[in-house]
A = this chain, B = another copy of it.
């Protein structure tokens, strides 16, 4: 079990595949936050821009062409960080964001189909 410190609080890997057993209320609360963060088109696109960027990280300075202002980009990246989906590091003028791979893996596992379907 890897504990992340993406946004100041630990994000435990959640959960078993949805097809295996129902989530508990507590698991649903925690996991819905991540889905909600990706439930906005601009935010989802920004997340994919960071995830697919060279070196696996990107700063606001790397992002253009999404049709929203730089402050809006910053705002969305912060929201993704708060949801535990991105980690950040300040280097000089810029804050660099990268995807938390274990969170992505946990969400992927949640949506995994049974192997004997």
> A residues within 8 Å of B by Cβ?
18-25, 28-29, 31-33, 35-45, 47-49, 51-52, 56, 66-67, 99, 101, 104-105, 107-108, 111-113, 117
Contacts and interface: CB of A to CB of B under 8 A. Distances in A.
A23 to B, nearest CB: 4
Contacts of A43: 32
Contact of A25 (B31, B51, B67, B111): B67
A39 B35 contact: yes
Contacts of A35: 35-36, 38-39, 44
A78 to B, nearest CB: 17
A31 B19 contact: no
